[in-house]
Structure 1
Amino acid sequence: MARVLSLVAAAGAATLAAAANPHAAMGGYQPATNVIEHSQIVYDIEAIQTALSADDFTEAKNIYMNGKYSCKSTSNMRNLQGFVKQATYDAKLNGTAFVDAFVDGDGPSYGPIPGSGGRLMLSPTFWDDFLLGALDGTGDFLGMSTAIRKVAINKGVLGVSTLYAAYEMESAIGKKYDDNSADASGAPHAWDEGWAFLYGSHPADDGKYSAWEFSKKRDLDFAYNSSAQAVEGATVATDMLLKYFLHGLRASRSGGVLADMVAARNNIYRMLALSSIRAALKYAEKAQNPYNEEYHMEAYVYFLVAANWVEQAYAGAGTNVLALLDFKKTEAQLSSNLYCAVKTELVPSYQPLGLDCAKVGVLKGHDDTLDDNCNAPACPATQTLPTGLDSYVPDVTTTVGS
C-alpha cells in the first residue's frame, strides 16, 4: 500500500489559486489524476540499491521481479521486471515509438518515429536480459566483479523506469487518437503516469532515486559551472522535461490536439537523448587514465537509456557508441582516446536532435588535452528548442490518492 508522503500532507494544506486541483505537485508537475502509487516505484529502486550495498543480490532480484512498494491494488504489486519482460513487450511495448527505436519498426501511424536514422536492433527483452545477468552473475556478467554488477543494476533500473515512462506517454497518445480524453481514465491519466514513473516522489528529496535524477545530475555536470552558475547556452534538461510534460498534459485533455502530444513526446525524448549523450561523454572521459571499470559500465548503461533516440536521429550514432563503450571490452580493447572516439560518433546526431555543441555543453573539469588531435566533426549551427509550457495546472475534480 501507499507509503505516507509529505506531498499528501501538502496537498491537504495547499490552496490553489490558479485552478481547482486536489492533487499534490510532483517536481512542478501537478497531475490531473491520482498517480501516487505509480510514483512510488522509486522506493523499489532505492530498496534495490540498499540491498546491493549489503551485497544482497538475492533480495535485489526479489524486489526487481516481485516488487515491494508500488501497488496496483491491495493484492497486486507492481514490479520493475513487469515493465520490460517479454509478455509486456508482446502486449504493450511493441509498436510504440520509443521501443521500436530500440528494436525495429516505425512506431504508430499517428505518432511515428520522427528521425530518418536507424534502429538499434536489440532484443525486445534487452533490459530484462541485462539485469537478470547482472543480478545472477551469468551470461555476459559471468566472472565480472561484484562492483561492476552493482553499477549495472543500479543504473539499469533507471533505464527500465525511463522506458516504461515512455510507454505511458505513448499509451496516452494512443488514447487521444481513440478520442479518449477523460481525465480519470483516458489520455491525461496515462500521461500523468509517464511523469510519475520518470520523476517518482521521494519525501526526503523530490526526484531522488528516479530516472529524472539522472538528467538532473548530468545538468549539474554540463549546464552549471563549479560556482553553481548556469553555463550560457547549455540546456538544463530537467527544466525542459517539465515544460514538455506540461505541454503534453494540456494537449491530452478535452479540447487538446493529438499533434501537440506527439510533439511533446518527441521533445521529451530529445531531452532523454541529451542526458545519455552527456553521460557517454562524461564517463568515456573518466573511464581512462587510469582505467576505471565502474565508470566504464556507467558510460555504457547510461548511454543505453536513450541510445535508441540518438540512433533514430542519425544512423550509426547510437550503435557505434554502444560498441565503443561495450562493457564486455577489456581496458586494452578500448579506444586509446575513448572520449574522442565517442564524441566523434555523437556530434553528427546533434543537429537532427535539435541540439548543438553549446546546448550539450562541456563537462565541468573537462581535460582539454583530450581534444588535441581529436578530429571530431564540426559542431552544427545553433539550434532552437521548442519552448513547451512554463506552467499548467489542470482544473479537475478527480479522486485524490493517499
Structure 2
Amino acid sequence: HELVVAAEKSADGNIDPAKGAPHNWDEAWAFYHGDSPGDCPFATADKRGKDFGTGSTVNDTVLANMQYGLTHMGEPRLQGVADQTIDVMLIPYIQASIKYALKVDSDIAKGDMDAARIHQAEGWAFYRVIEPILAKADAASAKRIGSIFDLSQSQPSAAGAEIKAILMSNLDAFNVSAEQIGSYD
C-alpha cells in the first residue's frame, strides 16, 4: 500500500519529505524490513531464498529499488519501480506456497498427518497473499490450489507437484521468472 501511495504522491508532485511520497516510500521499507529479525517479509525472503537457492536476491533487489526511489522522487519512472518492487516482494510467497505444498506430500508419504496438516496451513497462509493475482490470470487454477490448501478438508491431499506446476506455469501473472523463483527439492 505504501509504495502505491508514494508513487501516486510522486506523480502528483508531492515530494515533501515529511508528508509526501518520500515519507510513504520510507514507510514501505520499514514495514518490509521490520524492526526485529525474523518477524517480517525481509526475513521470510531470506529464508525462502536459502531454501530455493536464490539467496538474498529478493532483498537485495527490494533494497536497491527502495534506494533508487528515494533519490528519484517526482520522476515518471517511479511508478514502474514501485510496481517492480511489489512483483519481487511476491517471490517468497510463491516459493513458500511451493515449499509447503511439497512438504505436505513428504509428510503424507511418511504417514505424519499432523505435520501434513501444519504444513497445509502454512502453505495456505502464504498462498493467500498471491491467490488474487493468480485468480486474475487463471481463475480455475487459483481455485484448484485453494481447494488443495483448504483447511476444511478432513485430510490434506498430496498435490505438491500439481501446485508447483500451476504456479510455475503462471509466473507471467506475477511478472517474475523461473530463475527468480529458483528450485526446491
Shift of 1:358: 2.9
How far apart in 1 are the matches of 2:133 and 2:27?
Answer: 21
Matches within 5 A, 1:167-206: 167-202=1-36
Query: What is the number of equivalent residue pairs in this alignment?
Result: 177
Identify the structure with the greater helix proportion.
2
- Separation in structure 2 between the aligned mates of residue 327 and residue 208 of structure 1, nearest angstrom: 26
Paired amino acid for 1:269? I
Letter in 2 for 1:325: F
Alignment of 1:1-400 (within 5 A): 167-202=1-36, 207-223=37-53, 236-252=57-73, 256-258=74-76, 260-288=77-105, 289=108, 290=111, 291=113, 292-312=116-136, 314-316=137-139, 317-331=141-155, 334=157, 336=158, 338-363=159-184, 366=185
C-alpha spacing 1:323/1:261, structure 2 compared with 1 (3 Å):
farther
> What is the Cα deviation at residue 357 of structure 1?
2.6
Offset of 1:176 from its aligned partner? 1.7
C-alpha deviation, 1:304, in angstroms: 1.3
Conserved 8 A contact 1:321-1:346: no
Q: Deviations over 1:211-237 (max 9, x none)?
A: 22111111111025xxxxx6xxxx821
User: Any unmatched runs of 5+ in structure 2?
Assistant: none
Structure 2 counterpart SS, 1:195: helix
Q: Which moved more, 1:171-180 or 1:296-305?
A: 171-180
Equivalent pair of 1:350/1:357 in contact (CA under 8 Å): yes
Mapped contact 1:223–1:236 kept (Cα < 8 A):
no
| 3-state SS of 2:25 partner | helix
Name the amino acid aligned to 1:257. E
Matched residue SS, 1:193 = helix
**What letter corresponds to residue 356 of structure 1 in structure 2?**
S
Deviation at 1:268, TM superposition (A): 1.7
Deviating more after overlay: 210-219 vs 352-361: 352-361
In the TM superposition, what is the alpha-carbon distance from 1:195 to its structure 2 partner?
0.8
State the percentage of identical aligned residues.
21
Q: Tell me how far apart the structure 2 counterparts of residues 213 and 173 of structure 1 sit (CA, whole Å).
A: 25
For the aligned residue pairs, the C-alpha RMSD in angstroms reads 2.2
TM-score norm. by structure 2 comes to 0.83
Q: Separation in 1 of the partners of 2:50 and 2:65?
A: 20
Which structure has the larger Rg? 1
Residue 267 of structure 1, CA deviation: 1.2
What is the TM-score of this pair, normalised by structure 1?
0.41
CA distance in 2, matches of 1:319, 1:251: 40
Q: Equivalents in 2 of 1:179, 1:346: separation in Å?
A: 38
Alignment-mate amino acid for residue 222 of structure 1: F
Per-residue deviation at 1:308?
A: 2.8
| Distance change >3 Å, CA 240–CA 266, structure 1 → 2 | same
Cα 1:242–1:362 shift into 2, 3 Å: same
Q: CA deviation at 1:352?
A: 4.3
Contact 1:169-1:194 within 8 A present in 2 as well: yes
Q: CA deviation at 1:249?
A: 2.2
What SS does the corresponding residue of 2:90 show, helix, strand or coil?
A: helix
Distance 2:3 2:38 in 1: 21
Output the CA distance in 1 between the equivalents of 2:86 and 2:104: 26
